[in-house]
Chains A and B, each alone.
Chain A
Amino acid sequence: MAQHSYWQLFSSVYSKDVTLAFRQRSEIVNPLLFFLIVITLFPLAIGPEPALLARMAPGIIWVAALLSTMLGLDKIFRDDFNDGSLEQLIASPYPLSLSVLAKVSAHWTTTGLPMVIMAPVFALLMNLEAQALGATVLTLLIGTPLLSFIGAIGAALTVGLQKGGILMSLLVLPLYIPVLIFATSAIDTSSMALAYGGQLAILGAMLAIACVCAPIAISSALKVSVS
């Protein structure tokens, strides 16, 4: 098994998931629409006052991002579990964590990345100052893969259950708290025109840890779910 076959495995699993998402475009569009609608609800609920909205914008954007990531998470292993592809991945001579890494990356490409791209538009809707736009995009860029990794652990644990969706949110949302705290604080700091490199660095460190640890946890969780 040469090195290129590891890459072959990764790219095959990755491209399968991305292709499937593009064939069912609603999978990409729906979380994005959900994100937009949640953000629209807030001004209606708390009033359209620009200053108030700008103050609350980082929190609202990030809570909306958390919720719309949750929306697509259940799908990440569900289809593969139902049609037996997951068993085939386990019975492959390659480490399962590699396939898992590919699947999480594909999930991020189809749900996280569109959010990162659309973030400036949503930030403008919320009256966020121009100087905070960069921070919004950067925190989402580092934070959304982290959400995918942590969320995939919950998805892997609940994929064998009939009604795993709500349970998964219960498992995953508490684990999202540090991401939420540091990301919103980075945006807050940047809107005061202060340096926010520290928060980004912490988010980056958490992402690095998740990259290493999460695939192991996810693959052992998948093995439990399949048995």
Chain B
Amino acid sequence: MWKWLHPYAKAERAYQLCNTLLPYFAVITVVCLAVGWIWGLAYAPADYQQKDSYRIIFIHVPSAILSMGAYSSMAIAAIIALVWQIRNAELAVISIAPVGAAMTAIALITGAAWGKPMWGAWWVWDARLTSELILLFLYFGVLSLYHAFEDKKSAGRAACILAVVGVINLPIIHFSVEWWNTLHQGATITKFDTSAIDPSMLWPLLINIAAFAGFVGVVTLIRLKNEILQCEKHRPWVRELIGRGE
């Protein structure tokens, strides 16, 4: 795998890889988003209990899943950056972080909006919501640490270390919050049972998850391309690229 990966440590190759992957992700995003939202929001049957308000899961659940997924991919990139000292992996960490933070914010906002009709309150200290909130803090930590450094090389490495520390802590935080929640009872309302979800709702949900994943991929790749160009702007290949663009 090393032999296969190693060429991409070079900025130019990584940039080309981004260019090759981008159209695929873009197609997945556009197609799945169109199908998933129209199906989910218009055609899927209404829930017999929650009526139409349940339809927010077609946004809430994918963004919640992707918020975690983005964090783990960020941490994997961070580990690669620290172990093999690959600058592009650092750039990938920085490209993913704001996208993941946005996903987390979407999950929190839609969660609150869903909570109002269901639980009668905008915010409930539900275990999953609390974990999500802490995840948002972790994202903010990585981002603000990166932007606090003037020297972007040190900034990238510092952000990578923090991302790895965060990913080691994330399961501990998650389980402690879950345990704390069951201990304090009160707001343990089960949202819905995933296994019991009807296939007519499950399919649009899965398509939406794929769409969100594609979307995260697209935005990350665009950001990564930008970061690589920023970082390599004095190199001949970038100058050539800019020259061709004009």
Contacts and interface: CB of A to CB of B under 8 A. Distances in A.
Touching chains A and B, CB distance < 8 Å: yes
Interface of A: 153, 157-158, 160-161, 164, 167, 170-171, 173-175, 177-178, 181-182, 185, 206, 213, 217, 220-221, 224-225, 227
Contact of B158 (A170, A175, A181, A221): A221
Contacts of A160: 149, 154
Contacts of B223: none
B177 interface: yes
Contacts of B169: 175, 178
B226 interface: no
Nearest to A214: B165
**At the interface, is chain A mostly helix, strand, loop or mixed?**
helix
Contacts of B237: none
Nearest to A184: B180
B161 A181 contact: no
Nearest to B136: A174
B158 A217 contact: no
B115 interface: no
Given A167-B148, A177-B134, A181-B180, A157 B162 contact: yes
Nearest to A161: B148
Contacts of B176: 177-178, 181-182
B154 A227 contact: yes
Contact of B168 (A174, A182, A213, A224): A213
Contacts of A153: 161, 165
Nearest to A175: B169
A161 B148 CA distance: 7
B154 A177 contact: no
Contacts of A178: 169, 172-173, 176
